[in-house]
Amino acid sequence: MKMMPSLLSYHEIRHFHLFCGLGGGAAGFNRGNARVGNMQARFRCIGGIDVDAGAIADFQRLTGTRGTVMDLFDRDQYRTFHGAEPPAEWREMTPADIHAAADGERPHIVFLSAPCKGFSGLLSQSRSSTPKYQALNRLTLRGIWLTLEAWTDDPPELLIFENVPRIANRGRELLDQIISLLEHYGYAVAETTHDCGELGGLAQSRKRFLLVARHREKVPPFLYEPPKRALRSVGEVLGEMSMPGEERAGPMHRIPRLQWKTWVRLAFVQAGSDWRSLNKLVVENGHLRDYLIVPEGRNGFLGVNDWTDATGTIAGASRPGNGSFSVADPRFDQSAAWRDGQAYGVRRWDCSTGAIAGQQSPGQGTYAVADPRVVGVRHNNVYRIVRWSRHSPSVTGGTGPTSGGLAVADPRTGWPKSAHGSKLAITGFNESCRTVTGARFGSGALAIADPRPGMKRGRGDNYLTAGHYGVVPWSSPSGAVSAAAGHDNGRWSVADPRMPEPNEKLVAVIRSLDGTWHRPFTTLELAALQSLIDPHEYLELSGLSDSAWRERIGNAVPRDAAEAIAGVMGTTLLLAWAGETFALGATPIWVRNLAVGLSVETPGHPARAGGAS
């Protein structure tokens, strides 16, 4: 008897997000994949809440779901955080408002990523203890209470609370209250930590705290850990993107305008290191002693010789502008130590980055990359020699070797033998001349090395008064501009004093000592490192502020990590709906304490994991 294949049975899993930000977590959950037997999960976002209107606009764009702008502070928290009374139109949100933000639907999973500034290590212990940040921290407890009250008659099956790992210490009292509240509403609770980079296969390491609550009556199975994946390198992600600054990539892919001194600092940070590399530099009177920054050129143009190397031939016009006639002088004092954490850190192209935070400047962390794709015009085929046996490239309007492959390796070196074998030869002044013929000097040895130049340079000499290789002061007028004005036939150069001021903001490309461009990540690259977009995708966020965009991106849950978490939670729900209480899987249970918290009835508080066991 022929067996008919079983048809897939699709089950919708609805998810709702509190403190949703721009929607990285929600977008990841929408991409979740889970299957048990012939049961296939389909994830659908039913709403999100955030106080930032710009973030909600982004949320709607990334998820396709309506978001709600809502301030979850109570009145006392608002006064304490803002230092003022709320405006007249402001009101405290209620559980009914939470229910309405989900369009009246009930979620199976609620994901909360409450503000973490008060718990973060980027904030000092003293500032985190101030009333302002304590009020911000209490949003965690209030948000969960509002959620539980919104669906008290039909609770969500799973509730996930995500934050920085330091919350386990700085927010211990609040966490204990949250756990007690969840247990009161019928949930089993467990705590753990994970690395979003390993869960999502990202090019960053991003360790986070995770509290998972399972409704005891609705969800009996274990929760399995998502498979861990190797971290990718920064270059693996950024290498798929267009070069920074390309207009087609949009305003989010522009290079930030940094102070000139910041560009210089970045250029001298060793790739893979941070500001401490700068301690190796020697500074005298505010200037680098061992290095000189000059414009880049070809054929030794503005070249700088190493202190330990020999120079090239000294020519009659040995100037920085026409050869390697400068030197990297190493005689300097040691610079003062920098004391601002990981400031000006530069990531290697083949390494992963650290966690993408709300910071936006290279001076605030390792937010720069040693990009080997140094920009600039590529003079392809300059001075190229075409083999005699090969075809020529396209013949263009250029007429010289510097215009392309317009030279040939001609094997016909045997010039015709004739009486003029001494073509263009020079006869010494003390030697006899060869036979005088009727030809010109190009036909034989009809030229002489005359030691009697009789060229006395003095007043009225045309060569001196014509101003050859002349340089005009910045404060002086130029002479009449002629049709053949060139640097070597008059005063057609200027002493330009316009080096950037230390605090002047600009976009610069400085080729670092390792041959790469040490530059900050663009906003679009940060979004790609957070997996909010694939590297080849285009992204627009609400507003026109890079700082606002970067803060939202830094606060986001990485999309690919959320997708991995959604997959295992979807599997857990499908097992529960299939009536299963245990399933043997190849992946490990998500830390033993979490497994116990999610699968066993435990009196009182469940065991808590101080980390992965």
pLDDT by residue (tens digit) across 127-138?
878 888 888 889
Task: Report the pLDDT value the prediction gives residue 562, as an integer from 0 to 100.
Answer: 95
Q: Whole-structure pTM over 0.85, yes or no?
A: no
Confidence class of residue 417 from pLDDT cuts 50, 70 and 90?
very low
H-helix segments, 511-555? 523-529, 546-555
DSSP, residue by residue, 237-302? HHTTSPPTT-GGG-GGGSPP-EEHHHHHHHHHSPTT--GGGGGGSBEETTEESS-------STTTT
CA–CA dist 81, 411 (Å, integer): 83
pLDDT in tens, 45-101: 999 999 999 999 999 999 999 999 999 999 999 999 999 999 999 999 999 999 999
Under 8 Å CB-to-CB from 17, ≥6 apart: which residues? 23, 25, 26, 45, 47, 48, 49, 110, 111, 112, 113
Residue 344 scores a pLDDT above 70: yes
Report the C-alpha gap between 458 and 472 in whole angstroms: 22
Residue 192: strand pairing partners: 210
CA 246 – CA 231 distance, rounded (Å): 28
Q: How confident is the model at residue 22 (pLDDT cuts 50, 70, 90)?
A: very high
* Catalytic positions, written as ranges: 116
Return the amino acid letter for 561. A
Average pLDDT rounded to a whole number, residues 584-607 = 44
443 falls in which pLDDT band (50, 70, 90)? low
Residue type, 581: T
Task: Give the residue-averaged pLDDT of 260-268.
Answer: 89
- Residue 462 amino acid letter: N
Nearest to 508 by CA among 303, 249, 293, 257: 257
340 Cβ contact list (under 8 Å, min separation 6): 275, 363
Q: Which pLDDT does position 605 carry in this prediction? A: 44
Give the tens place of pLDDT for each residue, 519-569. 999 999 999 999 999 999 999 999 988 899 999 999 999 999 999 999 999
Indicate the range of 33-47, 366-380, 401-415 predicted with least confidence: 401-415
Angstrom CA distances, 269 to 330, 331, 344, 514, 529, stand at 18, 20, 7, 10, 22
pLDDT at 96: 95
> How many CB atoms neighbour CB 234 within 10 A?
23
Q: Is the pLDDT of residue 498 over 90?
A: no
pLDDT digits (tens, 9 = 90+) for 166-188: 888 888 999 999 999 999 999 99
* Maximum mean pLDDT: which of 4-13, 99-108, 218-227: 99-108
Phi, psi for residue 538 in degrees, rounded to 5: -100, 145
pLDDT at 140 over 70: yes
Q: Is the pLDDT confidence value at 599 over 60?
A: no
Residue 482 has pLDDT above 70, yes or no: yes
If pLDDT is split at 50, 70 and 90, which confidence band does 595 have? Answer: very low
Q: Give the rounded distance of the alpha carbon of 255 from its chain centre.
A: 10
* For residue 285, pLDDT beyond 50: yes
pLDDT for the residue numbered 583: 54
The CATH superfamily of 9-231+550-599 is Vaccinia Virus protein VP39 (3.40.50.150)
- Residues with Cβ within 8 Å of 123's Cβ and at least 6 positions away in sequence, in order, are 117, 133
Confidence category of residue 600, pLDDT binned at 50, 70, 90: very low
pLDDT the model gives residue 333: 46
